[in-house]
Copies of this chain bind each other. A is one copy, B any other.
Amino acid sequence: MESMMIYMPIAMALLGLIYMVIKQKWVMKQNPGDGKMKEISDHIYEGALAFLNAEYRLLAIFVLIVSIALAAVSFIVPTTHWLIVIAFVFGAIFSAFAGNIGMKIATKTNVRTTQAARTSLPNALKISFGGGTVMGLGVAGLAVLGLTAFFIFFFWFFMGSEWTNTMDMTIVLETLAGFSLGAESIALFARVGGGIYTKAADVGADLVGKVEAGIPEDDPRNPATIADNVGDNVGDVAGMGADLFGSYVATVLAAMVLGNYVIKDMGGMIDDAFGGIGPILLPMAIAGAGIIISVIGTMLVKIKSNDAKEAQVMGALNVGNWTSIALVAISCFGLVTWMLPETMKMNFFGEGLQEISSMRVFYATLVGLVVGAVISSVTEYYTGLGKKPILKIVQQSSTGAGTNIIAGLATGMISTFPSVLLFAGAIWASYAFAGFYGVALAASAMMATTAMQLAIDAFGPISDNAGGIAEMSEQEPIVRERTDILDSVGNTTAATGKGFAIASAALTSLALFAAYVTFTGIDGINIFKAPVLAMLFVGGMVPVVFSALAMNAVGKAAMEMVQEVRRQFREIPGIMEGTGKPEYDKCVAISTEASLKEMMLPGLLTIGFPLIIAFVPMIFGMNPLAIAEMLGGYMAGVTVSGVLWAIFQNNAGGAWDNAKKSFEAGVMINGEMTYKGSEAHKAAVTGDTVGDPFKDTSGPSMNILIKLTCLIGLVIAPILGGHSVETGLAQTATTEVVGDTYAKKVYVDFIIESDEFAKAVVSITNVKGEDISKEELVVSGTKKEVDAKISELKGQATQFKMDVTDKRPNEVK
């Protein structure tokens, strides 16, 4: 059983995917309605596919370029294996495929939900949530399948499927990082491009349609209306899916890297029933279990009464969600105690090796689950209808757009307070429990329910679309009422889902950051070194500039849309009378092209900065470890600032949105009921205009920015530092020294060894009866200097009547 554990996650992923296919077939069998309903739905479906196809074409070019770059790197740098290219390509393909499944099912489910809503609310929920489930399982299943399959392959390829040493495993995991990089690259296109798409279409449709032509929202005469609906799917479904796909893969990968490091701390080898790789397998096993748990969770989401209201629907979702979180906690307990050695040794910076019991790792996973749950409540508090911050924004709308904007900005800014304290507490606690392995496993546990989270999340835009189709196809009011109930719940889950996505991105980045430090072999990132501090500043600036570029991109893309809609209104005869047919596809094409074009600059910023920081100083001959530390400072800056700006922008945007929505039911301002159309409402609409790119474009893009930055760092880590750069040479030299009064062991571990530069940690263990003390000396300098110093140390040892034995145990394959 234990030895087969490596195949467990793959089996679970396949089970999840099988269930997904069954669910997909079931959804597709549902009645897709008729006539106009079907027509509109088909338009949305085709528009979404058009975007995907355009995106994939661009992606293909991007993947090709990056592949060539990676291949070149793997050719030049001996420690980087060319298989990373294959992993990268497959990471991109798997993520794109998952996005494809999600978009297709979402755009097929919407009309079926409308049709079901004609007769039954429970059925409508069942179908819309079924669509969400397909999306969720597709993403999670493919993520686990791909990552695990490649791990098994690389483990066989590099190590013959048997434990050799941590150095070989590092190569396995470094190559595996390509898969994660591929996945996250797709996320860049899907999340940032999608974000620009959805807002460009939205703003463009509103500006000409509602404002200039005076026709209502979702009016079929507006050529941009289909693009607008496509946008909901592109941004909220595909974007979110790609985001979480990337987080999922990166989290598990980072935890595996840190698991390997635990083994290293335990002496480079452990004796367990899992072939000596229990700590590495554990995060994959948790991910695998999470898929099955999510399946169970989704099965629990159902309502019975046709007269159910929001509270019942929300309740049904909560039952599923909380059950899966509880089940993940239980399975974590089981897996941790089963798969990990009862006591481990972990190296805590500045505190040396400590003994960590497996129970403490379990506590770390609980920290992750708590964070996932609490961040949703925090987000809900700052952005939820009827909550205090929203009511305050509503009040401030009465004195104009200016005060509304200030109140919204302030709300978003203040919301960073509990969120950041929560993250900081989580980092601290999970680290205190089990070091950075604990931080990574906290993230893994939180991400285990990804399929469930995505199902809850995707159900929102599906219901939103269903409502739009009901409106456009002029259904009876009861249909719209039913979809509105689902849509309203969907709005709440969308906000909390964004909180989950930020939390996952933040923890993932931290885990990647930790993995990066261990990969490069630096002794930490000391911001008291000025170049590192300078890069911390630069890193902090990048999310701010990225957000600005994304916001400007929306503006530019929207302007192109405006011009196209104006042209159609002008040139197509009878379009306003409903006799001429608008060219929906042209608007879709414009949104598609503009969004992909406009995401280039922010994308370049994301990818370019870490590369410049890594390679420009290298050209000038800077010490690679110093560069690694600088890049680490940059990564930390991007992460800290990116998380802050993500929370700020998402919550400010969400708050403005709901402040505006509050006017629909009417709000009490200065003792007067105020409704839509009032001056205060207009001010709130202005706030929402500002909030739209915040919450749907620049805010969510931060997730990708921080993860991708850390991943790029991880992929170039072997170039900067890591293990030996001379293939075929020994990595470590062990010198055992036995003196006359006590045994002394000198262990020399080369962190880096090239012609120009070498760095070695010399551990000196003094044994005197029962007492063991340890001291470490770091020796660095030119290869020659370091060799000299080590000879000198050895010399001293022999001189003082100690025997010296020299070992070079590990040959790199």
Contact = CB atoms under 8 A, between A and B. Distances in A.
B349 A529 contact: yes
Given A636-B536, A644-B544, A644-B641, A530 B427 contact: yes
Given A524-B526, A537-B643, 14 more contacts: A349-B528, A402-B690, A413-B551, A420-B537, A420-B538, A427-B533, A428-B531, A510-B533, A527-B633, A537-B640, A540-B641, A640-B640, A686-B686, A773-B789
6 contacts: A396-B555, A400-B689, A409-B548, A409-B551, A420-B537, A525-B527
Contact of A555 (B403, B413, B439, B626): B403
Contacts of A431: 530-531, 534
A439 B530 contact: yes
Given A402-B689, A420-B541, A526-B350, A640 B536 contact: yes
Count of identical protomers in the assembly: 2
A1 interface: no
A526 B413 CA distance: 28
A795 to B, nearest CB: 10
A207 B406 contact: no
Interface in A563-580: none
B644 A548 contact: no
A502 B420 CA distance: 25
A604 interface: no
Nearest to A421: B538
Nearest to A514: B528
Contacts of A517: 528
A535 interface: yes
A427 B420 CA distance: 28
A644 to B, nearest CB: 6
Contacts of A528: 349, 514, 517, 524-525, 632
A555 B398 CA distance: 13
A548 B393 CA distance: 13
Contact of A537 (B424, B526, B799): B424
A401 interface: yes
Interface size class of A (residues with CB under 8 A): 35 or more
A333 interface: no
Contacts of A525: 526-528
B540 A420 contact: yes
A636 B517 CA distance: 20
Interface string A500-534: 00000000001000100100000111111111011
Interface string A587-612: 00000000000000000000000000
A362 interface: no
Interface string A377-405: 00000000000000000001001111101
Contacts of A665: none
Contact of A800 (B439, B549, B633, B800): B800
A673 interface: no
A216 interface: no
A56 interface: no
Contacts of A430: 530
A476 interface: no
Contacts of A685: 402
Contact of A689 (B403, B421, B432, B799): B403
A545 B405 contact: no
B690 A409 contact: yes
Contacts of A789: 773
A392 to B, nearest CB: 9
A410 interface: yes
A436 interface: yes
A777 interface: yes
A800 B792 CA distance: 16
Given A349-B529, A789-B773, A537 B423 contact: yes
A621 B623 CA distance: 39
